[in-house]
Amino acid sequence: MTAFNGAVRTAEEKSRAWRLHTLTWAAENALRLEGDFVECGVFEGFMSQVVVDYLDFAKLPRTFFLYDTFAGFSPRYSSPADFVADWNFYDFAQKAYAKPGLAAEVTARFARYPNVRIIEGVVPDSLVGTAPDRIAYLHVDLNSPKAERAALDALYDRVVPGGYIVFDDYGWEQYGPQMEAADGFATSRGAAVLELPTGQGLLIRS
């Protein structure tokens, strides 16, 4: 609770308390495995800040890789059709994500953590040559079905057995294509994503 209260800045962030509970649970358990931590889709860094504060991450012999364009969706991977229930959501979200000075804001937010690496660029392209070989914790929160599928294609084999993959928007009707992308990938690997009451999806690497 201390990590959550220390990071929270808005009522919207406060509403994500249970989702943070899932993430801190996954992150704490991931420490029993070998491997680094990855988040695809960082925005202002709220959720990852709660995780690093909760784990006192600076003291850990791990690296947390944070991937985002810090300028919103890439037209190569995203379009309004990704949001089937409300095509206007694309423009609304794009405006919010393309917040001026965002990369600098996030850099400042994690300045206390020398083992947090911020990688600016389009996922999955930015994963090439930067992603860690072994991953114990992977948070997928791009709001982009194509980019999320491509991130899974690139990263899944690097997730160690028993490693935790959490999809932020898996169960919400608004984000149906994200569920289809995650399920399509999981099925191709003989696995299944667990839908949580928070709307998140959980996949444990077998």
Report the interface residues with ligand SAM, using CB under 6 A: 41-44, 46-47, 67-69, 72-74, 77-78, 97, 122-123, 141-144, 147
* Nearer to ligand SAM (CB atom), residue 63 or residue 162: 63
CB 106 within 8 A of CB 118: yes
Crossing angle (nearest 10°) for helices 46-55 and 17-30: 50
DSSP H or E run through 136: strand 135-140
Beta bridge partners of 195: 201
Place of tokens 């991450």: 57
* Nearer to ligand SAM (CB atom), residue 61 or residue 111: 111
CA geometry: angle 9, 12, 16, nearest 5 deg: 95
Q: Closest separation between CB of residue 169 and ligand SAM, Å?
A: 7
Residue with the CB atom nearest ligand SAM in the bound state: 47
Q: Closest separation between CB of residue 103 and ligand SAM, Å?
A: 10
Q: Closest separation between CB of residue 206 and ligand SAM, Å?
A: 25
* Nearer to ligand SAM (CB atom), residue 96 or residue 194: 96
Beta bridge partners of 36: 135
For residue 155, give the nearest of 72, 76, 37 by alpha carbon. 37
Q: Closest separation between CB of residue 158 and ligand SAM, Å?
A: 18
- Coil, strand or helix at 116: strand
CB 68 within 8 A of CB 159: no
- Coil, strand or helix at 194: strand
Q: Closest separation between CB of residue 121 and ligand SAM, Å?
A: 7
Round to whole Å and give the CA distance between 116 and 135. Answer: 14
* Nearer to ligand SAM (CB atom), residue 136 or residue 142: 142
Q: Closest separation between CB of residue 70 and ligand SAM, Å?
A: 6
* Nearer to ligand SAM (CB atom), residue 73 or residue 110: 73
* Nearer to ligand SAM (CB atom), residue 21 or residue 162: 21
